[in-house]
C-alpha cells in the first residue's frame, strides 16, 4: 500500500477514534458519575484522557511502517 494512502487512512481513523472515544467517555461520565464527587470526576477524566493513546499508538505505528518490498 502506498505511504500516502496509509497516512490518509490513518489520519481519518485517528480523527474518527478521537471523536467516537470522546463521545463515549462523556456519555459514560454523565450516566455513571452524576452523583460522584469532584475527585472521582478528576480521576475518571484523567484516565480516559490518557486511555485513547493506546489505540492511537497502534494506528500511528501502522501508518509509519515502511511498505513491504514487492517480490
Q: Give pLDDT, residue 11.
A: 96
C-alpha cell of residue 4: 500516502
Checking if the pLDDT of 17 tops 90, the result is yes
C-alpha cell of residue 46: 484523567
Note whether 58 and 1 are within 8 A (CB): no
Q: Give pLDDT, residue 67.
A: 79
pTM exceeding 0.85: no
Q: Give pLDDT, residue 52.
A: 93
Amino acid at each position: 500500500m502506498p505511504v500516502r494512502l496509509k497516512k490518509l487512512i490513518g489520519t481519518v481513523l485517528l480523527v474518527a477514534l478521537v471523536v467516537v472515544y470522546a463521545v463515549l467517555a462523556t456519555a459514560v461520565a454523565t450516566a455513571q458519575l452524576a452523583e460522584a464527587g469532584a475527585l472521582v470526576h478528576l480521576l475518571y477524566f484523567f484516565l480516559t484522557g490518557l486511555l485513547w493513546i493506546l489505540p492511537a499508538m497502534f494506528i500511528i505505528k501502522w501508518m509509519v511502517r515502511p511498505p513491504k518490498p514487492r517480490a
